[in-house]
Amino acid sequence: MTTYGSFPGTRPRRLRTTPVMRRMVAETRLHPADFILPAFVREGVREPVPIAAMPGVVQHTRDTLKKAAAEAVEAGISGIMLFGVPEEEKKDALGTVGTDPDGILQVALRDVRAEVGDDLLVMSDLCLDEFTDHGHCGVLDDEGRVDNDATLERYAEMAQVQADAGAHVVGPSGMMDGQIGVVRDALDQIGREDVAVLAYTAKYASAFYGPFREAVGSSLKGDRKTYQQDAANTRESMRELALDLAEGADMVMVKPAGPYLDILAKVAEAVDVPVAAYQISGEYSMIEAAAEKGWIDRDRAILEALTGIKRAGARNILTYWATEVARTLR
């Protein structure tokens, strides 16, 4: 006599027999609204510039960026996160072009907002690294170290000009202490309580950022280990999370996504605000490169990676495949 609850009476494979059965019992589902598209816009180019280290991704012109935003709306994704790439000669030690109302990022924000209105969340990266001649995310002191508090003054100004340019959401990504509170206060001072703050809460000093450096034309010398988090640490992320929430973060994010799913799961379990994860350039490029070699099934690998990120607790995912995958899902 078979005892209930043991083999052969219990056979979990019954719930895997057909595609319809597997779909019905799926615990995690991807949806177009889950996705946010990171996009780069480059000043002074007439045609999109392919990013060699990120096959299929380009530095947009202003016109092609507007087209990409319109396609994102059509695909049903939730947002687009903009990164500006200025002309090299415009970079300086303070990242001045990052707070110039006519700087490439602010111009692009106005372009995209005019194109899509409120049909797509227009988000802006709030950091200095794209705009400084040294490539760091902040202002340097006399000894070449990133000056946290001087950098916060620049972030406050950036937040205000980005909001004025049309950003629905700003994403402070420099990992400076106190950045969320300073940005929130700066927005409120100009009556922009409606602009949300997506905190880059757990942003690790990762080797997987490599292709991104090409994407933004980074001038970085050295590394960012004195302000981005150490890959060995977990409790540090939870401390950063508590601080960001106390300072007024509307949403929080873990970056990178794939190598830090344990951190993502802990963050998602701990909070009652939306949690995002950024599937970064290295994660994207590894799959594309392996697929190009014929070593993996590209489409299946993409969906598997994204499903893993959502299963770990991400409500939203920043991914360079956002529009493509959203079309597939629809």
Q: What is the mean pLDDT of each run of 10 residues along the chain (330 residues)?
A: 72 94 96 98 95 94 98 98 94 95 97 98 95 89 93 97 98 95 98 98 91 71 83 96 98 97 98 97 96 97 98 98 96
Is 91 one of the catalytic residues?
no
Residue 253, strand partner residues? 200, 276
Four-point Cα dihedral 219, 224, 228, 229, nearest 10:
140
**Gyration radius of the chain over CA positions:** 21
**Is residue 185 helix, strand or coil?**
helix
Q: What is the largest CA-CA distance in the chain?
A: 82
Measure the CA–CA gap between 249 and 262, rounded to whole angstroms: 21
* Angle subtended by helix axes 104-116 and 62-75, to nearest 10: 40
In sequence order, which residues have a C-beta less than 8 Å from that of residue 241 and are 6 or more positions away? 201, 202, 252, 267, 270, 271
* Angle subtended by helix axes 148-165 and 104-116, to nearest 10: 30
Whose tokens are 């530095």? That residue is: 59
Sign for the CA dihedral angle at 113, 115, 116, 118 comes to positive
What is the token pair recorded at 177? Answer: 């202490």
Measure the CA–CA gap between 129 and 221, rounded to whole angstroms: 11
Quick one: pLDDT at residue 154? 97
Measure the CA–CA gap between 200 and 219, rounded to whole angstroms: 22
Class of residue 88 by CB neighbours under 10 A (exposed 0-12, middle 13-18, buried 19+): exposed
In sequence order, which residues have a C-beta less than 8 Å from that of residue 152 and are 6 or more positions away? 176, 178, 179, 182
**CA-CA distances (angstroms) from residue 93 to 28, 129, 218, 224?**
46, 10, 13, 16
Neighbouring CB atoms inside 10 A of 76's CB total 16
**CA-CA distances (angstroms) from residue 41 to 6, 66, 80?**
58, 10, 12
Quick one: pLDDT at residue 280? 96
How do beta strands 169-172 and 58-60 pair? unpaired
Residue 205 near residue 137, CB atoms below 8 Å = no
What is the token pair recorded at 92? Answer: 């300086």
Is 203 one of the catalytic residues?
yes
What is the token pair recorded at 111? Answer: 């372009």
Residue 78 near residue 31, CB atoms below 8 Å = no
Neighbouring CB atoms inside 10 A of 153's CB total 13
DSSP 165: H
Give the predicted TM-score (pTM) of the model: 0.94
* Selected catalytic residue, list 66, 67, 91, 203: 203
* Selected catalytic residue, list 90, 91, 221, 255: 255
Quick one: pLDDT at residue 1? 54
**Is residue 230 helix, strand or coil?**
coil
Residue 251, strand partner residues? 198
